Amino acid sequence: MALLDIRDLHLAMRSFDGEAHVLNGISLSVERRQVWGLVGETGCGKSLTGLSVSRLVPTPPGRYMRGEIRFDGRDLLAMPERQVAALRGTRIGMIFQDPTTNLNPAFRIGTQLVDVALAAARRKPGVLAGGGRRAAERLAVQMLEKVGIANAAERLQDYPHQFSGGMRQRVLIAMALVGQPDLLIADEPTTALDVSVQAQILRLIRSMVDEFDMGVLMITHNLGVVAQSCTHVAVMYAGNIVESGPVRDVLMHPRHPYTQALLAAIPTRGTARGALRGLAGAVPNLIAPPPGCRFAARCGRVSAACTVLPPLTGALHRTACHHADHADA
């Protein structure tokens, strides 16, 4: 049984202009020790996928039309909020870009980290090796050191506002990891950080994946981060996963025209390595999306068949395209 199994998830979001069909049948499984990168242009539904797994999409304006999000076999969408709240921050760790969402401004950083570590120890007795609050404080200091916070022991006494934005993001990462979650959802976790800190944090996440059997869903614009840190990748376009599979297969032998275009658009000189550059054309309006394949207006391979939505097919390396490029297969 997969740790996380998203099945045919459809989500609509209401706005002033109408209801947008923002997730159009997402299916994705994350096993323990897998690090899935979720990539795609802005507005493709990456964050809403991550927020859905944390069940943090407000409903309304959100409305789940169909589908399931199975975590350890249980559908999160069917659980009472109280049970989902008990999973958040413990079994499901979250790093979102806005640190204010996960740090309570009214409590010292140390108190917040220690509480998470103590909760983890109740769930997994090995976390503090039988120790209590003192052991939790030691763990909190170690975790702050691992994310690169200097004078970690003293800084436990500080409140969130006493940290700079980049530091708060690191504290947030420490908070998500100190609880040794089974599943980590990380939405652009290192984008705001400088390159050396980014590398350090990605290494830390990878080491925790192996040490604690964690599964990760990492949302990123950066294909360089995917290549370095992920075992698998799912490419999203306008609310659909259009290609997914082991990272090497997808990045070395992309089959979907959109993945091929994304990879071709990686700047080689003068700009940040691995970042996506704009492709020609734009993601369609999801209030009235085109019938069939949502990439059709930008696709050089489009045919009459493409007015029918292509299913995601394949065993490990999966593609949703009527004319996928299997030349390398």
Site for ligand ATP in 57-116 (CB under 6 A): 61
The answer to whether 45 contacts ligand ATP (rule: CB under 6 A) is yes
Minimum distance, C-beta of residue 310 to ligand SF4, in the bound complex (Å): 4
Residue of 24, 27, 34, 47 interacting with ligand ATP (CB under 6 A):
47
Minimum distance, C-beta of residue 96 to Mg ion, in the bound complex (Å): 9
The answer to whether 190 contacts ligand ATP (rule: CB under 6 A) is no
Site for Mg ion in 28-67 (CB under 5 A): 47
Sheet of 62-71: strand order equals: 18-30, 4-15, 62-71, 74-75
The answer to whether 212 contacts ligand SF4 (rule: CB under 6 A) is no
The answer to whether 296 contacts ligand SF4 (rule: CB under 6 A) is yes
Which of the listed partners (ligand ATP, Mg ion, ligand SF4, none) does 254 bind, with a CB threshold of 5 to 8 Å by partner kind?
none
Closer residue to ligand ATP, CB minimum distance, 51 or 114: 51
The answer to whether 222 contacts Mg ion (rule: CB under 5 A) is no
Cα four-point dihedral sign 39, 275, 13, 71: positive
Which of the listed partners (ligand SF4, ligand ATP, Mg ion, none) does 127 bind, with a CB threshold of 5 to 8 Å by partner kind?
none
DSSP assignment, residue 313? Answer: B
Task: List phi, psi (to 5°) of 270.
Answer: 80, -20
Both structure tokens of 177: 């990891």
Closer residue to ligand SF4, CB minimum distance, 176 or 250: 250
Measured at the CA of 140, the angle between CA 135 and CA 141, to 5 degrees, comes to: 100
Residues 6+ apart with CB under 8 A from 309: 24, 25, 240, 291, 292, 293, 320
Closer residue to ligand ATP, CB minimum distance, 121 or 217: 217
Could you tell me the end-to-end alpha-carbon distance of the chain, in angstroms, rounded to an integer? Answer: 28
Residues 6+ apart with CB under 8 A from 323: 257, 301, 303, 305, 306
Other Cβ atoms less than 10 A from the Cβ of 327: the count is: 7
Binding part of the chain for ligand SF4, among 68-76, 136-144, 194-202, 316-324 by CB under 6 A, reads: 316-324
Residues 6+ apart with CB under 8 A from 80: none
Minimum distance, C-beta of residue 187 to ligand SF4, in the bound complex (Å): 26
Residue of 18, 42, 142, 165 interacting with ligand ATP (CB under 6 A):
42
Which of the listed partners (ligand SF4, ligand ATP, Mg ion, none) does 257 bind, with a CB threshold of 5 to 8 Å by partner kind?
ligand SF4
- Site track 268-297 with ligand ATP (rule: CB under 6 A), x = hit: ------------------x-----------
- What is the separation of C-alpha 237 from the centre of its chain, rounded to a whole number of angstroms? 15
Residue of 251, 310, 312, 318 interacting with ligand SF4 (CB under 6 A):
310
The answer to whether 222 contacts ligand ATP (rule: CB under 6 A) is no
Closer residue to Mg ion, CB minimum distance, 71 or 96: 96
Residue (of 258, 204, 202, 263) closest to 229 by Cα position: 202
Residue of 28, 174, 293, 312 interacting with ligand SF4 (CB under 6 A):
293
Closer residue to Mg ion, CB minimum distance, 47 or 240: 47
SS (H, E, C) 85-139: HHHECCCEEEECCCHHHCCCCCCCHHHHHHHHHHHHHHHCHHHHCCCCHHHHHHH
d(CA 155, CA 149): 8
DSSP assignment, residue 169? Answer: H
Q: Which residues bind ligand SF4 (CB under 6 A)?
A: 257, 293, 295-296, 299, 301-302, 306, 310, 321-323
Q: Which residues bind ligand ATP (CB under 6 A)?
A: 13, 15, 20, 22, 40, 42-48, 61, 286
